């Protein structure tokens, strides 16, 4: 039995091509390129530098350091979900 077997989808939120860092909600600093994926969370180049994520063995993916964080995230979404839109699904357990 899966986690969502008895769940009811109550809301789908599509944020389109909006992108923000799961660490700082930015990127705000000087390094707006690159970034990393840890789990399903994306961290901008600034956070990756600040917290040493580029050398962390637990990261899932290092993004292209020559591309903007936004472009990297949009490409990651497209590759992993088939759409570059950011989509959140909210479920309830009635």
Q: 85 lies in a domain? A: no
Asked if 41 and 61 touch (Cβ cutoff 8 Å), the reply is no
Check residue 61 and give its pLDDT: 94
- Structural domains in the chain (count): 1
Angle (CA) 17 91 75, round 5°: 25
Q: 8 lies in a domain? A: no
**Of residues 33, 88, 87, 94, the one with CA closest to residue 63:** 33
The boundaries of the domain holding residue 64 are 19-80
Check residue 27 and give its pLDDT: 81
Check residue 4 and give its pLDDT: 73
Check residue 5 and give its pLDDT: 80
In tens digits, the chain (94 residues) has pLDDT values of: 677 788 999 999 999 999 999 999 988 877 789 999 999 899 999 999 999 999 877 899 999 999 999 999 999 999 999 999 999 889 998 7
């Amino acid at each position: 039995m899966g986690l969502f077997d008895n769940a009811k989808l109550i809301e789908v939120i599509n944020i389109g091509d909006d992108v923000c860092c799961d660490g700082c909600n930015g990127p705000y600093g000087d390094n707006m390129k690159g970034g990393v994926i840890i789990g399903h969370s994306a961290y901008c180049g600034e956070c990756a530098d600040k917290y040493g994520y580029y050398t962390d063995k637990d990261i899932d993916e290092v993004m292209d350091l020559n591309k903007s964080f936004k472009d990297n995230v949009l490409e990651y979404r497209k590759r992993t979900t088939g759409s570059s839109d950011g989509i959140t699904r909210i479920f309830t357990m009635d």
